[in-house]
Amino acid sequence: MTALPDARVNKNLEGSGVRARIQKFGGYLAGMIMPNIGAFIAWGLITALFIETGWLPNATLAGLVGPMLYFLLPILIGHTGGRMVHGHRGAVVGAIATAGVIIGGITEFATLSGTPMFLGAMIMGPAAAYLLRLFDRAVEGKVRAGFEMVVDNFSLGIIGMILAIVGTLGVGPVVAAIVAVLSAGVNALVAAGLLPLASIFVEPGKVLFLNNAINHGIFTPLAAIDVETAGKSILYMVESNPGAGLGLLTAFMLFGPKSLRASTSGAIVIHFLGGIHEIYFPYILMRPVMILATIAGSMSGLFVATTLGAGLAGPPSPGSILAYLAVTPPGGHLPMLATVLTAAVVSFLVASVLLKFGRGAEDDVVEEQVHAIESMESGSAVLGSDVTKLVIACDAGMGSSVMVAGQMRKRLAPYGVEVVHTPVDQIPVDAQVVLTHEGLAKRAEAKAAGALVVPFSSYLGDPAFDRVELAIREGRLLTAAGIGEAAPSAVAQPAAGVTATATLTRPKKKLAPGILPASNVRMGLASVAKEDAIRQAGDVLVASGAADPAYIDGMLLREHQTSTFLGQGVAIPHGTNESRTHIRSAALGFLQFPDGVDWDGHTVNVVIPIASNSDEHVSILAALASVLADKERSQRLRTARTPDEVISLLTPTEE
């Protein structure tokens, strides 16, 4: 069975490596653009419809184009960048500072001309928020009671004023000069017909999950400047063209390994119509030489686009053919379709040649089986039927590992597999398989050299849990990112004296009465930054008398050490082991954010803060795990309307 590599191994890289640093920086740039893509699309549609050469020319409505380009979009970017650094206060000061660079980039107010300050907003928004955060930390705990609001408001206002002036007189003109140089360079490439060469760098960057950073962090701001003058820009098509991915996937569907062909048609729909380009990255990661197909396809498409004068009026986000059709200006559909079709055909032809038109496809399976055997011999794989002990490791061994252990213990009990939870630095020497969060995988590998480490990303319902169970149940070869075929007579049988319903005779862990009072339930809260959500959650515990205010600092510190996101829209912030000295009694809180909170790239709708000592901590987490692992209950928690309904949903029932 040919398995695609787990693409998440290459996404959200940690450490000090060059790829990890570039990915984090690019992700940060994209993080300022992506939440505001809707505004970019609105501006692009207004431009395509109402400018003089648009579908429905209207001088009055066309008056929206300039103000949105010069003021609305940069301020949104600066606001978002500031919020990422320092919550709401950072967002406000980021917007103020961005206003300064906007003015510094305008050369003629009467005609509203100059340089749109997207790059300036990406600089000033986060920088202003960072400076404000430094000030807030410097005065924290030193302001007299009753003067907090005065200090907060005036510090933000004064710092914002100073940075707005700096932006107007200093940063704005400098950024305008830099953007002028970049724009001139890109225009020179386009004029010389050399823009297709950009694909040599863009396509490999996409596969390393820098696609959003490349598109929205680099090309989208530059393309917006082109649209202002020409009504369209080819730069919107450099990274987002879905043709190259379509050609690659079509080649795999016809000529790839036979075990992959059936599922590739679904990937084509998701990629070409849904615009989710990440769906084809694993196909390239499985066979890196296939990157040549997408490079050739993208280059060919850009050559045709340059020749025919193709371009889009706004960012096609996501990069689907439907989005392309929506933001193509009048008279541009044939050149656009020719660009996409050319990329698809060339990519398909090159990929088909690389796949030998299907000849030797079965050799891939043989090669994989050989690789699997070599992996088993080197200790990087294990036969599921041989597994008798599974270790769940987390940072402290008392938090997230308890929840995962509860889920896996129930699933593996019929096969006699012992499931234990430990700190990642104390993995027992007899561990055969270690399940741990992907952020802790390297530490686990260093501590358990003889064990197979299987990383996961979500604490609830992660695919890695299913792979481990399937490998043990069917006696398959288990690796860190996949499973192989079953060995002869290796299918696991229920352990002696253990039946498939053995665990059903045990009651689930129960939450102690009163641990979640109705007064600790907060419904329908407005979306905030993650740090603000954690502070609100801590305030609930403090207001109930369960913890001292200092416990909130421990909750924030814990979040810096390891994320408390569980999956299924739920996070359970709690303090570090050291901060438990600030706990007075065991308690839970419940905060519902219907529109979601950005939790390190995940959307969280339910925040459940926990205050407990070490013994209570285990039982509380086990009880929560038994409830939150139920997808239906987790979904109902997001839409619950009363505290009584929440408490009922969070109360485990006997099995």
Rounded Cα–Cα distance for residues 549 and 530 (Å): 18
| Helix residue spans in 106-142 (DSSP H) | 118-139
According to DSSP, residue 397 is labeled S
584 CA to centre of own chain: 36
- 271, 574, 582, 617: the active-site residue: 574
- 79, 216, 394, 582: the active-site residue: 394
222 CA to centre of own chain: 24
Rounded Cα–Cα distance for residues 180 and 174 (Å): 10
Match 């980039």 to its residue by tokens.
Answer: 105
Give the phi and the psi of residue 487 in degrees, each rounded to 5: -80, 155
CB 606 within 8 A of CB 599: no
- CB atoms closer than 10 angstroms to residue 9: 15
CB 304 within 8 A of CB 346: no
Strand partners, 423: 394
Rounded Cα–Cα distance for residues 157 and 92 (Å): 9
The full DSSP string for 198-218 is: GHHHHHHHIIIIIHHHHIIII
The full DSSP string for 545-593 is: TSB-THHHHHHHHHHHHS--EEETTEE--B--SGGGGGB-S-EE-EEEE
Rounded Cα–Cα distance for residues 327 and 28 (Å): 26
- Burial code (b: 16+ CB inside 10 Å, e: under 16) for 210-228 equals bbbbbbbbbbbbbbbbbbb
- Residue 226 in tokens: 């082109």
Single out the residue of 463, 607, 649, 628 nearest to residue 4, CA to CA.
463
Q: At what angle do helices 148-166 and 118-139 cross, to 10 degrees?
A: 150
Alpha-carbon distances of 218 from 224, 340, 622, 639, rounded to whole Å: 11, 21, 46, 38
Indicate the Cα dihedral angle 442, 446, 450, 456, nearest 10°: -20
3-class DSSP state of 175: helix
3-class DSSP state of 412: helix
Rounded Cα–Cα distance for residues 555 and 3 (Å): 39
- Residue 265 in tokens: 């048609």
394: annotated active-site residue: yes
Strand partners, 456: 437
Match 């069917």 to its residue by tokens.
Answer: 474
Match 């979009």 to its residue by tokens.
Answer: 73
- Residue 644 in tokens: 């009584």
What positions carry a catalytic annotation? 394, 574
